[in-house]
Structure 1
Amino acid sequence: MSTTDGTDPARVAALYDDFGRHWAHGTSPLYEEWALGIAGDRELTTRIAGLSRRLRQPNLLFASARWAGSPLAPFAQWREWLLAAWDRVLDIAKERSTQTNEPNRCATLLPVISRIDGPVALLEVGAAAGLCLFPDRYAYEYSTPTRIRRLAPSADDRRVNLACRIDADDVVPDRLPEVVWRRGIDLNPIDPRDPEEVDWLATLVWPGPDHDRRVERLRAAAEVAASDPPEIIRGDLLETVTEIAASAPHDATLVVFHSAVLLYLDAAGRERFADIMDGLAAEVDRRVVWLSNESRGTLTAVDARVPADLDTSRRFIQSVDGAPIALAGQHGATYETSAFRGR
């Protein structure tokens, strides 16, 4: 059986099963239970299969339910609530989007950005509120097998504290970058000065003890962004990235970066974006670094250079100009380079 848009409920079941087993597992027990519960529930998978591709996203459905007041309850109880509130949850999902703004991801961007000579200009694709556009204004604690390294804008500026485990001493950043320009692109930009919008970002953070600190970091980072809001341009990334890149200062290295964004494009859109990035430096006549954090299966050319037997669960493949260099934890807590050394 397929729904009217041609989507098989079995594909929805597979989507939610993958989310529960490979993404929520070990980090959000409640979301794991909800996702696996939906995967085994024919009524819910059929309902979800009838929605648009965007509305099928587990994180959007779960966050919209929580925004509507759902209990953080076991699946059987939550299912009854969801069915009763189905229309209200869908109305919220149609108005909002998954814009997970995790500032701790800056801890996995910094190993690359900090090694660029001279000033840098930052352009984030899928920026939401732009909380990842301030890697120079956060404090970091990197732990390696042999030491702990701390970095901060100044001794008394530790409003946002980020932590990350790195697998090698020589990868740890030793300085913060000089950022002279920052812009973002998003279909639905979020104003970090708007408390309700920040509350929505907080709702997108998964429930569970491992994530409580993420909410605290997010709100602290939103205060940093609100004090000097970056310009987030509303638009389609495929249509706007070249024009915005061309407005960056010529005397800075432009870093175009994104995390968990391209998976929302179809395969043709992802390939088109990769082609744009390949030719961007020539198109805008300046030095460009393309820094990508995306899950396996998103960029075909990157995947082809990743060891076939490498476990990438709950981690992004980080690539620079299309070459994979590390596995980055989805929320910025880990950074692993060993699989790519010597390749």
Structure 2
Amino acid sequence: MTTAERYAEFAAREAHGVSPLYERLSLAVATDAKLLTLLDTVPEGKRQPNLLYAVVRLLGGPVNDPEAFHDFTVGNWDRVAAQLRVRATQTNEPGRSAVLLPVLNGLPQPLALLEVGASAGLGLYPDRYSYRYGDQRLGAGGPVMECELTGTEPPSRLPEVVWRAGLDLNPLRVTDSDDMAWLDALIWPEHTHRRERLRAAVEIAAADPPTLVRGDLVDDLPALAAQAPAGATLVVFHTSVLYQVPEDRRRAFEDLVRTMPGHRISVEAPEVVPFPDLPPAPDDTLHNVVALDGVPLAWARGHGQALSWFGPR
């Protein structure tokens, strides 16, 4: 896929109906010869729209007007390119807990959670958040995760979590203002509700910080998993992470995690973690596949805003 095609697809499948600003901006970048030429000078994995837009926002540039965005990005390309090379899309969306909850609740309690690609670890607190599935609410504290759920009944309880840890090549700290500024920049500009949700989740994590380890998802996973307490069900999970991992390391991770005790929950795009004979997605927008131990269960939207269950209940 060319860089232009990537931006056009982002506009059509991810931003359309979700972020008018990013839809318009992506369509403009897809036909902007100067920007496309500059983007093609950085590694392919660093050309993605979310990363570019977040870097420009972090540097104080505009994303609400394509012409102003062009002028800022071209005029500050050395700074933009330097940030693209060292940053990653570590979107730490606590709303994704809403698509994990139905799976977590079906596992033997209590749970020991280990998130691969944990960013700041905000996905490690599904028991501390509240949820609303349609007109049904679960939980009384923390930010409320809204999720449109079809195909199964909403969860009736919160999971019991007795241990939580995360593994990341570059873990972010909820107590570090620069790290939190990066997470804020990754939230799409119109998404005030997500920004408020992020800040509320940060408060929860700051009050009881998780164990976050800087490390590789293959080399360092077994040692961290070994720290989980006896008597708890180990759950290794990852959401929208493996697309950033080279294919050979992705295969090595798959081989490793199959040998580990406990369970694995993956929430990844179907071209990243493929499954045969998947039912059609609910629509043409980007959906991830929620799977437990290699068995696909549901389609999920990227920020946890919808879950369409098709697997065994």
Q: Which TM-score band (shorter chain)?
A: over 0.9
Q: 1:134-155: CA deviations, max 9, x gaps? A: 0011111111xxxx22221xx5
For 2:76 and 2:254, locate their aligned partners in 1 and report how far apart those are by CA, in whole Å: 40
- The alignment status of 1:163 with 2:146, answered yes or no, reads yes
SS in 2 for 1:216: helix
Superposed displacement of residue 97, structure 1: 2.0
For 2:38 and 2:17, locate their aligned partners in 1 and report how far apart those are by CA, in whole Å: 28
- The alignment status of 1:32 with 2:16, answered yes or no, reads no
For 1:15 and 1:103, locate their aligned partners in 2 and report how far apart those are by CA, in whole Å: 26
AA paired with 1:256?
V
Aligned residues: 313
AA paired with 2:234?
L
- The alignment status of 1:273 with 2:245, answered yes or no, reads no
Q: 1:39-94: CA deviations, max 9, x gaps? A: 21222222211211332121111100011111233212321221111112122223
Superposed displacement of residue 159, structure 1: 2.7
Query: Retained in 2: the 8 A contact 1:270–1:299?
Result: no
For 1:150 and 1:309, locate their aligned partners in 2 and report how far apart those are by CA, in whole Å: 26
For 2:281 and 2:155, locate their aligned partners in 1 and report how far apart those are by CA, in whole Å: 29
- The alignment status of 1:198 with 2:170, answered yes or no, reads no
Match of 2:125 in 1: 134
AA paired with 1:289?
H
AA paired with 1:295?
A
For 1:117 and 1:272, locate their aligned partners in 2 and report how far apart those are by CA, in whole Å: 27
Match of 1:68 in 2: 59
Pick from 211, 219, 239 the counterpart of residue 199 of structure 2: 219
Match of 2:138 in 1: 151
Query: Retained in 1: the 8 A contact 2:165–2:211?
Result: yes
Match of 1:317 in 2: 289
For 1:305 and 1:318, locate their aligned partners in 2 and report how far apart those are by CA, in whole Å: 14
Unaligned ranges ≥5, structure 2: none
- The alignment status of 1:329 with 2:304, answered yes or no, reads no
For 1:71 and 1:325, locate their aligned partners in 2 and report how far apart those are by CA, in whole Å: 40
For 2:300 and 2:280, locate their aligned partners in 1 and report how far apart those are by CA, in whole Å: 17
Q: 1:146-201: CA deviations, max 9, x gaps? A: xx22221xx5xx23111111114x43111111101100001111111122311210
* Identical amino acids, percent of aligned pairs: 42
Structure possessing the higher radius of gyration over alpha carbons = 1
Pick from 210, 215, 219 the counterpart of residue 230 of structure 1: 210
Superposed displacement of residue 310, structure 1: 6.4
Decide which moves more: 114-123 or 264-273.
264-273
For 2:308 and 2:290, locate their aligned partners in 1 and report how far apart those are by CA, in whole Å: 10
What does residue range 1-343 of structure 1 map to in structure 2 within 5 Å? 11-143=2-134, 148-152=135-139, 155=140, 158-168=141-151, 170-208=152-190, 211-281=191-261, 288-300=262-274, 302=275, 304-307=276-279, 311=283, 313-338=285-310, 340=311
Superposed displacement of residue 311, structure 1: 4.3
Decide which moves more: 23-32 or 227-236.
23-32
For 2:42 and 2:312, locate their aligned partners in 1 and report how far apart those are by CA, in whole Å: 43
For 1:115 and 1:32, locate their aligned partners in 2 and report how far apart those are by CA, in whole Å: 38
Query: Retained in 2: the 8 A contact 1:295–1:315?
Result: yes
Bigger helix fraction = 1
Q: 1:240 to 1:305 in 2, by over 3 A?
A: farther
Unaligned ranges ≥5, structure 1: 1-9, 282-287
Decide which moves more: 219-228 or 56-65.
56-65
Backbone CA RMSD of aligned residues:
1.8
For 2:295 and 2:228, locate their aligned partners in 1 and report how far apart those are by CA, in whole Å: 24
For 2:243 and 2:307, locate their aligned partners in 1 and report how far apart those are by CA, in whole Å: 21
For 1:331 and 1:312, locate their aligned partners in 2 and report how far apart those are by CA, in whole Å: 16
For 2:24 and 2:233, locate their aligned partners in 1 and report how far apart those are by CA, in whole Å: 45
SS in 2 for 1:162: strand
SS in 2 for 1:224: helix
Match of 1:285 in 2: none
Query: Retained in 1: the 8 A contact 2:42–2:81?
Result: no
Show structure 1 runs of 4+ deviating over 4 A.
308-312
For 2:14 and 2:270, locate their aligned partners in 1 and report how far apart those are by CA, in whole Å: 12
Query: Retained in 2: the 8 A contact 1:315–1:329?
Result: yes
Match of 1:6 in 2: none
TM-score (norm. length: structure 2): 0.94
Q: 1:128 to 1:309 in 2, by over 3 A?
A: closer
Query: Retained in 1: the 8 A contact 2:113–2:165?
Result: yes
For 1:137 and 1:159, locate their aligned partners in 2 and report how far apart those are by CA, in whole Å: 6
Superposed displacement of residue 272, structure 1: 1.9
